[in-house]
Amino acid sequence: MVIRYLSALILPGLLVLLFTRVTYNRLIGLALTVGLIAASAFKGYTNTLPLIVVDAFSLTAGFWLAAKMKPRVVKKTP
C-alpha cells in the first residue's frame, strides 16, 4: 500500500516532465499523463480518493516544474 502512494507521488510528475520534453509542449505533456492516469483508474488501479488526490498533487508539481524548465532566451550583447 505504501508503494502505491509513493509511486503516485513521484511517477505522474515525472511523466509530465518526460512528455513535456518529448513533445516540447507542457499542456500536451499534461494531457498525455492525465490520459494515462484515467486509463489506470478505469482499469481499477486507482481506486481510492486519497490516491487520486496524491496523483493530482503530483501532476500539479510536474506541471509547475515543466514551466520552470522552459528554455530561457539569452540576449547577446554586441
The ranges assigned to domains in the chain are 7-68
Single-letter amino acid code for the residue at 50: P
The model's confidence at residue 73, banded by pLDDT at 50, 70 and 90, is: low
Higher pLDDT, 74 or 68: 68
**Exposed, middle or buried: residue 43 (CB in 10 Å: 0-12, 13-18, 19+)?**
exposed
Question: What gap in Å lies between CA 43 and CA 3, rounded to an integer?
Answer: 18
Residue, of 70 and 54, whose pLDDT is higher: 54
DSSP state of 69: T
pTM of the model: 0.81
pLDDT(54) > 70: yes
Instruction: Determine which helix (DSSP H) or strand (DSSP E) holds 52, and give its type and residue range.
Output: helix 49-68
